[in-house]
């Protein structure tokens, strides 16, 4: 590879600063998966149709397959790998587990990020069913019919329990 296709960029990934020489032709999805081994994001189309590669760049949800890695210079990137901390799932992840919103799981990392971005943007606001649906319309799922994902998004938006994670019957359908 010649020097012309390499560029040194710096960003934070899930809170950790990284600096690396990347192939300027690569998408951010490719750099994250191939260069950093962050394989949580998935590629279902490569052209921004399916949303399986959704991540957050400076708190904005993007399809990382059509987001050039060079554009991420100096940005703060969040991927699904950074959402669970200290052995505990994020509220959104827990809601997906509890509501049965996961089947094959291939769209799940992208959906988790889409819901996370939506929940953070809408904090303190009341949202309509249509707003939930529109905010996730860029993420395709072929397994669930979106129903349980809808339920998980709703659950992600409810105020925290006084005793989070201490649900009496975590395995029961509500």
Partner 1 sequence: MAVGKSVKRIDAVAKVTGRARYTEDFFEPDMLTAKYVRSTIAHGRVTAVNTDKARQIEGVEAVFTYEDVPQTTFATAGHPMALSEVHKDVEDRLLLTRDVRFMGDEIAIVVARNELAASEAAGLVEVEYETYDPLIDPEDILAQDARPIHEGRSNIVGEHNYTFGGDVDQAFDQADHVVEGRFATAMVQHCQLENHIAHAYMDDLDKIVIVSSTQIPHIARRIVGEALGMPLSRIRVIKPFLGGGFGNKQDVVLEPMVAFLTLKLNGRAVQINMTREECMLCTRNRHPFYIDVKTGVMNDGTLVARDMDAISITGAYASHGHAIAAAGGSKQSSLYPKAATRFHARTLYANIPVAGAMRAYGTPQVIYALECATEDAARKIGMDPVEFRLKNVARQGDINLLSNKEILSCGLVECLERGRDFIDWNRKKKDYEQFKTGPIRKGLGVACLSYASGTYPVCVEIAGSRIALNQDGTVHVLVGATEIGQGSDTVVAQMVAQTLSFPYEDVLVVQAQDTDVTPFDTGAYASRQAYVVSNAVFKAANQLRDRILAHAGIMTDEDPKHLDIVNARIVDNRTSEAVMDMKTLAIDSFYHKERGGQLTAEISYKTTTNAPVFGCTFVDVTVDIPLCKITVNQIINVHDSGVIINPVQAAGQVHGGAFMGLGAALSEEFLIDPESGYVYNNNLLDYKFPTFTDVPPLNHDFVETFEPTSGYGNKALGEPPVVSPPPAIRNAVLDATGICINTLPMSPHTLFSAFKSHGFLDGKGGQHV
Interface with partner 1 by CB under 8 A: which residues? 25, 38-47, 49-50, 52, 79-81, 83-84, 89, 93, 96-100, 102-109, 112, 130, 133-134, 136-137, 139-150, 170-173
User: Which of residues 37 and 124 has its CB atom nearest to partner 1 in the complex?
Assistant: 37
- Measured in degrees and rounded to the nearest 5, phi and psi for residue 17 equal -75, 135
| CA 98 to the chain's CA centroid | 18
The least distance separating partner 1 from the CB of residue 154, rounded to whole angstroms, comes to 12
CB of 116 to partner 1, least distance (A): 11
What gap in Å lies between CA 150 and CA 115, rounded to an integer?
Answer: 10
The span from the CA of 54 to the CA of 172, in Å, is 30
Cβ proximity to partner 1: between 10 and 149 the closer is 149
The nearest distance, CB 102 to partner 1, in angstroms, is 5
Q: Hey, what are 75's tokens?
A: 């940005």
CB of 68 to partner 1, least distance (A): 15
Cα separation, 83 vs 80, whole angstroms: 5
Cβ distance to partner 1 smaller for residue 18 or 142: 142
CA distance 148 to 161: 20
């Amino acid at each position: 590879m010649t020097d012309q296709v390499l560029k040194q960029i710096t960003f934070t990934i899930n809170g950790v600063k990284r600096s690396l020489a990347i192939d300027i032709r690569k998408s951010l999805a490719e750099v994250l998966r191939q260069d950093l081994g962050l394989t949580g994001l998935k590629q279902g189309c490569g052209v921004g149709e399916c949303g399986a590669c959704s991540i957050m760049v400076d708190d904005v949800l993007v399809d990382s397959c059509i987001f050039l890695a060079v554009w991420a210079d100096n940005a703060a990137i969040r991927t699904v790998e950074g959402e669970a901390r200290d052995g505990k799932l994020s509220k959104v992840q827990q809601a997906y587990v509890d509501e049965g919103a996961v089947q094959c799981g291939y769209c799940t990392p992208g959906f988790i990020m889409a819901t996370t971005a939506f929940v953070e943007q809408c904090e303190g606001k009341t949202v309509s069913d249509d707003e939930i649906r529109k905010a996730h319309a860029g993420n395709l799922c072929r397994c669930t019919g979106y129903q349980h994902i809808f339920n998980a998004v709703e659950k992600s938006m409810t105020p925290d329990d006084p005793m989070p994670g201490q649900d009496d019957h975590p395995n029961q359908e509500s």
